């Protein structure tokens, strides 16, 4: 049903979104943990900063990424020199844009589940001889998994559909930065593209539904009948 170029677009989109979420997840978890467990000066500032990509126009986020992570940007230069990692007009840049845009959606559910975790369970675990790190991996993390998963799915959906920041930051290059949303947009611009666009639209709907259903199923399994 899908042609070779269309498959390439789907795979590129999945790769961009997955890489974005996998890289962003640990950082988002640490931020969620800090926001949930500590109170410190500037906490609301950090919170506002995290929420920024959600409230400012995506085009502005894309522009800022271009300024900071572009070939001549400070951070872009740093990543290029130190890790040999280039963002501008590459799929890695698309992943960066997707990750930044999805970040607030990753943090929020994780923060909520960390806050609602009964800390008495950690106390009980320590009284049974487990140190902090062991308690984290045997009690805390397993109980947070549904929340982490919820954040990851929400973030993945956002990353998959990201448009404004991506097109501003890394443009719309077929085979490199042209993800599903960008491809659909391009096809709709050309007079003969309607049929192809419809196919891609269907694919993106199917991917989203599969992701949501899979996460619901996983969450039920992880919580083992608990509510």
Query: Which residues make up the interface to another protein (CB under 8 A)?
Result: 118, 120-121, 123-131, 134-135, 138-139, 142-143, 222-226
Q: Which is nearer to another protein, 130 or 201 (CB)?
A: 130
The C-alpha atoms of residue 193 and residue 171 are separated, in whole angstroms, by 20
Buried b (16+ CB within 10 A) or exposed e, 131-169: eeeebeeebbeebbebbbbbbbbbbbbbbbbbbbbbbbb
The helix or strand, by DSSP H or E, that contains position 158, with its residue range, turns out to be helix 141-161
The distance of closest approach from Cβ of residue 29 to another protein in the complex, given in angstroms and rounded to an integer, is 18
Tokens read off for 50: 């995290």
Q: Which is nearer to another protein, 42 or 129 (CB)?
A: 129
Q: Which is nearer to another protein, 125 or 152 (CB)?
A: 125
Q: Which is nearer to another protein, 142 or 175 (CB)?
A: 142
In Å, how far are 72, 76, 147 from 167, measured between CA atoms?
18, 17, 31
Contact of 62 with 167, CB cutoff 8 Å: yes
Q: Which is nearer to another protein, 66 or 144 (CB)?
A: 144
Nearest to 222 by CA among 144, 135, 124, 115: 144
């Amino acid at each position: 049903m899908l042609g070779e170029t269309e498959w390439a677009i789907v795979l590129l989109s999945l790769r961009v979104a997955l890489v974005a979420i996998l890289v962003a997840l640990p950082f988002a978890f640490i931020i969620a943990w800090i926001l949930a467990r500590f109170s410190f000066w500037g906490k609301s500032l950090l919170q506002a900063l995290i929420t920024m990509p959600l409230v400012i126009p995506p085009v502005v986020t894309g522009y800022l990424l271009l300024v900071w992570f572009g070939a001549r940007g400070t951070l872009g230069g740093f990543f290029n020199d130190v890790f040999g990692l280039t963002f501008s007009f590459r799929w890695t840049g698309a992943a960066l844009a997707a990750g930044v845009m999805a970040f607030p959606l990753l943090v929020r559910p994780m923060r909520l589940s960390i806050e609602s975790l009964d800390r008495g369970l950690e106390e009980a675990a320590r009284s049974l001889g487990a140190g902090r790190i062991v308690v984290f991996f045997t009690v805390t993390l397993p109980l947070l998994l549904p929340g982490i998963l919820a954040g990851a799915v929400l973030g993945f959906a956002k990353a998959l559909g990201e448009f404004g920041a991506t097109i501003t930051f890394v443009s719309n290059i077929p085979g490199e930065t042209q993800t599903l949303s960008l491809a659909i947009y391009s096809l709709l611009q050309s007079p003969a593209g309607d049929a192809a666009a419809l196919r891609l639209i269907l694919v993106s709907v199917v991917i989203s539904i599969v992701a949501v259903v899979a996460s619901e199923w996983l969450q039920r399994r992880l919580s083992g009948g608990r509510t």
